[in-house]
Amino acid sequence: MNASERRRTITELAKKNKELTIEQLQLQFGVSDVTLRRDLDILESQGYLRRVRGGAVLNSSPQLEIRLQEKLGQNNALKREIAKVAASLVEDGQVVMLSGGTTTQYIARELCQKKDITIVTPAINIATEVVGYDTVNLVVIGGIVRRNSYVASGHMADEALITMNADYAFVGVDGVDILAGFTTPNLMESRTDRTMLHTVTQPVIVADHSKFEKVAFSPVARLDEVALLITDSEAPENYIEQLQEAGCKVLSAHRNSSKF
């Protein structure tokens, strides 16, 4: 049984038993407690379980995503740090693609201080932020708009993106994991994010350290598929080192933000 099958089985067991212990799971699967704790952590990050002492319980009201308005109140200072670093890489006159999300919304605000910037985005909240600025040429990508994220995604968005060239893509994710890479909860949005990353010269992931060691439902990219991960000043150095050893270049806000 591989890891995905084991986690799926653990979820089914939780639905039947309501509460699981590490000892019970060791008897069931014959793997180490370290492996099982990692499984439970991943399932908690995906909203299926809630970790308790010695095991986990079924999450009776799973929430794979947090509404955008709720996210806007989380880690604001750290997201602004990331936004300033991201914007410092962009030169006047360049074309930038921005995925949906609150970190990318802060990046949009920083980019408005540049000259003759073109912003391409499927996110309604970002379009609203920048549409009034004379310094910005705005291109809005259409598609099916999801209420939780205000992002248009689907085949219409993907087909539009592949017709464009851009200098940078800044893509926000919900999970950053050594093995799973960069992930997000929604299948359609992850495909649009992947399309964006593959279209540009410099594909960049932006994520604050609260996303570290979390795995969401749908993959966006492997660690070595992007040019850079930008994170905040509170990101743990040991995990940054692990990410770099796995092939991901990382730039945190307290480090030198020179061109890469």
What distance in Å separates the CA atoms of residue 96 and residue 99, rounded to the nearest whole number?
10
DSSP 192: H
CA atoms in the 13 A half-sphere facing the CB of 59: 17
Share of the chain above pLDDT 70, in %: 90
pLDDT (tens digit, 9 = 90+) per residue, 86-101?
A: 999 999 999 999 999 8
User: Tokens 């061109």 belong to which residue?
Assistant: 259
- Find the mean pLDDT for residues 106-134: 93
Whole-prediction pTM value? 0.73
What distance in Å separates the CA atoms of residue 172 and residue 206, rounded to the nearest whole number?
5
Residue 49 has phi, psi (to 5 degrees) of -125, 165
Reduce the DSSP state of residue 145 to 3 states and report it.
strand
Say if residues 231 and 253 touch (Cβ distance below 8 Å). yes
Q: For the chain, list the domains and their CATH numbers.
A: 3-58 (1.10.10.10), 68-252 (3.40.50.1360)
pLDDT at 117: 97
Q: Of 65-74, 103-112, 194-203, 217-226, which range is least confident?
A: 65-74
What distance in Å separates the CA atoms of residue 30 and residue 13, rounded to the nearest whole number?
15
